[in-house]
Amino acid sequence: MNYTLNQLRIFVKVAQNQSITKASEELHLTQPAVSIQLRNFQDQFPIPLTEVVGRRLYLTEFGKEIALASEKVLSEINAINYKTLEYGGNLAGQLKIAVVSTGKYVMPYFLSGFMTKHSKVDLVMDVTNKASVIRSLENNEVDFALVSVLPKHLNIDKVELMENILYLVGSEDSLKIDKKRRLKSLANAPLIFRENGSATRMAMENYLNSKNIKVSKKVELTSNEAVKQAVVAGLGYSIMPLIGIKNELMNDSLKIYNLPGLPIKTNWNLIWMSSKRFSPVAKTFLKYLKEEKESIIQTEFNWFKSYAKKEYG
pLDDT mean over 141-164: 92
pTM score, two decimals? 0.69
Q: Tell me the average pLDDT of the chain.
A: 86
Who contacts 288 (Cβ-Cβ below 8 Å, separation ≥6)?
113, 114, 117
Give CATH for domain 164-266: 3.40.190.10
Q: What is the SS3 assignment for 214?
A: coil
Which ranges of the chain would DSSP assign to H, the alpha helix?
5-17, 20-27, 31-42, 61-87, 107-117, 130-138, 182-188, 199-210, 224-232, 246-250, 280-300, 302-308
pLDDT mean over 199-224: 88
Domain assignments of the chain as residue spans, ordered by start: 5-86, 89-163+267-308, 164-266
- Indicate the pLDDT class of residue 189, thresholds 50, 70 and 90: confident
Q: By the 8 A CB rule, do 279 and 82 touch?
A: no
Whether pLDDT at 257 is above 90 = no
Task: Return the pLDDT at 241.
Answer: 92
CB atoms near residue 296 (< 10 Å): 18
Between 18 and 89, where is the model more confident?
A: 18
pLDDT mean over 201-230: 89
Whether pLDDT at 190 is above 80 = yes
**In CATH, 5-86 is 3.40.50.2300:** no
Give CATH for domain 89-163+267-308: 3.40.190.10
Whether pLDDT at 285 is above 60 = yes
Between 184 and 124, where is the model more confident?
A: 124
5-86 and 89-163+267-308 agree in CATH topology:
no
